[in-house]
Structure 1
Amino acid sequence: MTTTTTSTTTSEAPEAPEAPVSTIGHGPYSLSPEQLEEFGAELDAIRQRVIADLGQADADYIRGIVKAQRAFEGAGRALFYLPPAWPLAVGALSVSKILDNMEIGHNVMHGQYDWMGDPGLNSRMYEWDTVCPSEQWKYSHNYIHHTYTNILGKDRDIGYGILRMDEDQPWKPYYLGNPLYALGLMTFFQWGVLLHDLEVENIMAGKRSWKDTKHLHRGMIRKVRSQTLKDYLLFPALTGPLFPLTLAGNATANLIRNIWTFNIIFCGHFPAGVESFSIEETEEETRGGWYYRQLLGSANITGRKLFHTLTGNLSFQIEHHLFPDIPARRYPEIAPEIEALCAKYDLDYNTGPLHKQLGSVAAKIIKFAVPPRPSRQQLASVTPLRFFTRGATAGDQSADAGARPVAVCEAVDLMREHLSRAEIAKDALQHTVEAGAEAVASVSGIVITAVRDVAHTVGGFATEVFEIRDAARRASEENRLED
């Protein structure tokens, strides 16, 4: 963490220097240690006031959302029996999956409703309608992400191990595919969340082996198997000859949920103005400092009440990062207080409409796909190549001879930064193929195992049905013979 010291003067006599002011991140924000603790104390007071006020209204709200989610799912499943109503069926099922993922699953697994004592809304028992096991998600999200929010090297949600989303992430040719990777992650977001804990990027870098993730495989396979069986076999089979339409509808609903979730999450974490932090900056972080980092590392999305409900109120990402265990329905009511507090301490409250936040996220994805360009000052400070390729003897005798090795090194470094397009393309293709092969191998292994288990289960069920039918036939024949 860096510190700066400022001083002021008057016409009468110089004043004593002010106390050092701590700065965090890359932004212009600064608070003294005393202000930081006051800031934290005010946020603690807001949190305690809301917790003390929790009651029947909050319980009724979440139970009402669960009831609505089940109604949408039931309507969607029923409408698949009417082919002309297929779009309506997909729409209803998509809303059901979005509510389950955002307003119910995410928030319940944060422990926001544990105080109710309802087993169906308990963070330790809840399982959501997605391929990622809840226990694995709670570790990577609730603990890792919310504890180390936007700390490079600790928070793996920065780019999800796939994308370059921060200027301090070293550029590699692999990142030329940033826009394509983002599109793929958005399309298959639930699968990206599933594979997040495998830390494929660390395995490729040699920091971790596949054996280190073995304890995760069983849970992954079990959840993939159950989700695949439900969405792509059992429910389609229940519609008989409409099996293909129902299967396509379920897949479309999952796709819509993936796209929606990806965009809401990325707009809350990666739009312009959101800060990142180094490990060194946060080594001696206090409670007030933690609040400060959560504020700077998040952004909100403006919209109407229905929009906020469909986001799980994660459109108030700032409030969520400050108070992840408070029921999300309370975020809209405390947001004005948080914004006023930011104004009091001269801190930026990052908020904007969806199109603005989404546009800035897209711009960052594209910007960080290409290598950073050296500034004009950097270019001007490097001695031209002709300095050491022409008149070498004369240069050795000049007063600048001692500067030549430095100039050569700087020029070589600059040349390395400016690889030819062909070299960049070659490296990008190589890294992309390697990364793709590793990812495909991992996904294929898990999916194949799950599909095999599904096939085994269905085959066993069919065998039992046939055996029951044969037993009934034999019993019928024996009864007929006795008669």
Structure 2
Amino acid sequence: MNMPAALHPNSKSKYLTEAQIQEFGAKVEVIRREVMDDLGEKDAQYIYKIRNFVRYSEIASRGMLMFGGWIPPVWLLGTGLLGLSKIVENMELGHNVMHGQFDWMNDPTLNGASYDWDTIATGDDWKYTHNYIHHTYTNIVDKDHDVGYGLLRVSEAQKWEPRFLMNIPLAIQLMVFFEWYVGLQRLHLEDVLVYKTKTWKQVWDEAAGLRKKMRRQVVKDYVFFPLLAGPNAIPVFAGNAVANVIRSLWASAVIFNGHFTEDAENFEADNTENESRAEWYIRQIRGSSNFSGTQWLHILSGNLSHQIEHHLFPDMPANRYAEVAPKIKALCAEYGIHYNEANFIQQFSSVWVRLAKCSVPNHWQDKIGQGGHLIRTCLAQLKAKFQ
């Protein structure tokens, strides 16, 4: 098997022969082709409805903040709705459109190459770090920068450093300021602050496009709309700030659940140059995590609740992932490939156990693992008690 060796100590996937791997990959291709050949009006109408929701919810929420922001219930409702609007714009609209999922519609407003979303990260930077680097080298240590974002230790293969003792508080900080960290990701600031392999002059030169986007976003949310609100400037400013944090907290929780759970595997880079498409499919499955929930939970997560399917088919309209997920799950069961799936709370809990374990050197992790097992057992007992 030529795919990169897994670094996860407790891989639940079976060994497959080369023939089985290629057979599996061919069956995944059949599932993909069935959906891509069926794209049409219902998919177009879906994304237009999502875009309309984003537009009208933003108008309504900003109106509430501008004209009734001093009234606490109105401020809470307006801020919450604005946060919701920003979440859907980033997750189900921007993220998916910039993957090229709707390029087939030939609508220039939904073209992946030109769409730019309502967040600090530029479209070009994000498409490089996410569409190219992350989706090509998914969970490969030292190649996929999403393995810890240069801030966290989320794999035993990452060299332990004393700063990782702060893994948990650093993860909380990452969640609160996630919009900014994603915007700055391409600059690799850890190379300046920690490893000293890069200069601030290099960072400044590389950040020309980002500085322009940052100015636009800051002026829009913290200057233009507050000034437009006149006497309601303070509640508008505060509402925009809180809405952005709401979006960051939710988006980071979804990303954590999709990549940092205990069963999400990491890989070595040894054989990636010769990796076949079928082997790439298997790596995507073994390195990703799904979480279950309602239709609205799927929409709010940009359908990244189906992270496995997204990593298999990043250019497939995300509204189709729920349709293909049972087929991929059944295929994984047939070939003995672990399909990492649980509810949101279970996956999110396992993320923090993994972060805790990776905060200490590898030889200390058995004790942390025992504590994590105890926590999961208690959660399961509580769940059973209240059902």
Question: TM-score, normalised on structure 2?
Answer: 0.89
- Picking from 323, 337, 340, the partner of 2:330 is 340
Q: CA deviation at 1:338?
A: 0.3
Q: Quick one: which amino acid aligns to residue 132 of structure 1?
A: A
1-side partners of 2:175 and 2:190: how far apart? Answer: 18
Give 3-state SS (helix, strand or coil) of 2:86's partner.
helix
Q: Does the 8 Å CA contact 1:274/1:296 hold for their aligned counterparts?
A: yes
Q: Does the 8 Å CA contact 1:23/1:30 hold for their aligned counterparts?
A: no
Residue of structure 2 equivalent to 1:249: 239
Q: Does the 8 Å CA contact 2:306/2:325 hold for their aligned counterparts?
A: yes
Residue of structure 2 equivalent to 1:450: none
1-side partners of 2:35 and 2:90: how far apart? Answer: 24
Residue of structure 2 equivalent to 1:359: 349
1-side partners of 2:329 and 2:115: how far apart? Answer: 33
* CA displacement, residues 129-167 of structure 1 (integer Å, 9 cap, x when unaligned): 001111110001000000000001100100000000011
2-side partners of 1:29 and 1:189: how far apart? Answer: 36
Q: CA deviation at 1:202?
A: 2.6
Q: Does the 8 Å CA contact 2:133/2:143 hold for their aligned counterparts?
A: yes
Residue of structure 1 equivalent to 2:187: 198
* 1:58-77 paired onto structure 2 within 5 Å: 58-77=43-62
1-side partners of 2:52 and 2:2: how far apart? Answer: 51
Q: Structure 2: which 5+ residue stretches go unaligned?
A: 367-387
Q: Does the 8 Å CA contact 2:187/2:207 hold for their aligned counterparts?
A: no
* CA displacement, residues 16-65 of structure 1 (integer Å, 9 cap, x when unaligned): xxxxxx96454253110001101111111111111110001000000000
Residue of structure 1 equivalent to 2:160: 171
Question: TM-score, normalised on structure 1?
Answer: 0.72
1:270 aligns with 2:260: yes
Residue of structure 2 equivalent to 1:41: 26
- Picking from 287, 293, 299, the partner of 1:309 is 299
2-side partners of 1:2 and 1:50: how far apart? Answer: 29
1:233 aligns with 2:223: yes
1-side partners of 2:334 and 2:203: how far apart? Answer: 47
- Picking from 362, 369, 378, the partner of 1:372 is 362
- Picking from 35, 48, 52, the partner of 2:37 is 52
2-side partners of 1:31 and 1:370: how far apart? Answer: 33
Q: Does the 8 Å CA contact 1:189/1:259 hold for their aligned counterparts?
A: yes
* CA displacement, residues 243-269 of structure 1 (integer Å, 9 cap, x when unaligned): 111100000000000000000001000
2-side partners of 1:375 and 1:359: how far apart? Answer: 17
Q: Does the 8 Å CA contact 2:139/2:287 hold for their aligned counterparts?
A: yes
Structure 1 stretches of 4+ moved >6 Å: none
Q: 1:185 to 1:245 in 2, by over 3 A?
A: same
Give 3-state SS (helix, strand or coil) of 1:352's partner.
strand
2-side partners of 1:152 and 1:163: how far apart? Answer: 12
Q: Structure 1: which 5+ residue stretches go unaligned?
A: 4-21, 377-483
Q: CA deviation at 1:236?
A: 1.1
- Picking from 151, 157, 179, the partner of 2:146 is 157
Residue of structure 1 equivalent to 2:369: none
1:78 aligns with 2:63: yes
Q: CA deviation at 1:238?
A: 1.3
Residue of structure 1 equivalent to 2:112: 123
Report percent identity of matched pairs: 47
Q: Does the 8 Å CA contact 2:139/2:265 hold for their aligned counterparts?
A: yes
Residue of structure 2 equivalent to 1:219: 209
Give 3-state SS (helix, strand or coil) of 1:59's partner.
helix
Give 3-state SS (helix, strand or coil) of 2:291's partner.
strand
1:87 aligns with 2:72: no
Q: 1:362 to 1:181 in 2, by over 3 A?
A: same
Residue of structure 1 equivalent to 2:339: 349
2-side partners of 1:213 and 1:79: how far apart? Answer: 40
Residue of structure 2 equivalent to 1:96: 85
* CA displacement, residues 71-120 of structure 1 (integer Å, 9 cap, x when unaligned): 11011011111132111101110111001100000000000001101111
Q: CA deviation at 1:371?
A: 2.1
Q: CA deviation at 1:210?
A: 3.8
2-side partners of 1:276 and 1:372: how far apart? Answer: 15
Q: Does the 8 Å CA contact 1:23/1:31 hold for their aligned counterparts?
A: no
2-side partners of 1:325 and 1:279: how far apart? Answer: 24
2-side partners of 1:131 and 1:238: how far apart? Answer: 22
Q: Quick one: which amino acid aligns to residue 35 of structure 1?
A: Q
Q: Quick one: which amino acid aligns to residue 177 of structure 1?
A: M
Higher relative contact order, structure no. (Cα contacts within 8 Å, ≥ 6 residues apart): 2
2-side partners of 1:89 and 1:288: how far apart? Answer: 47
1-side partners of 2:81 and 2:307: how far apart? Answer: 26
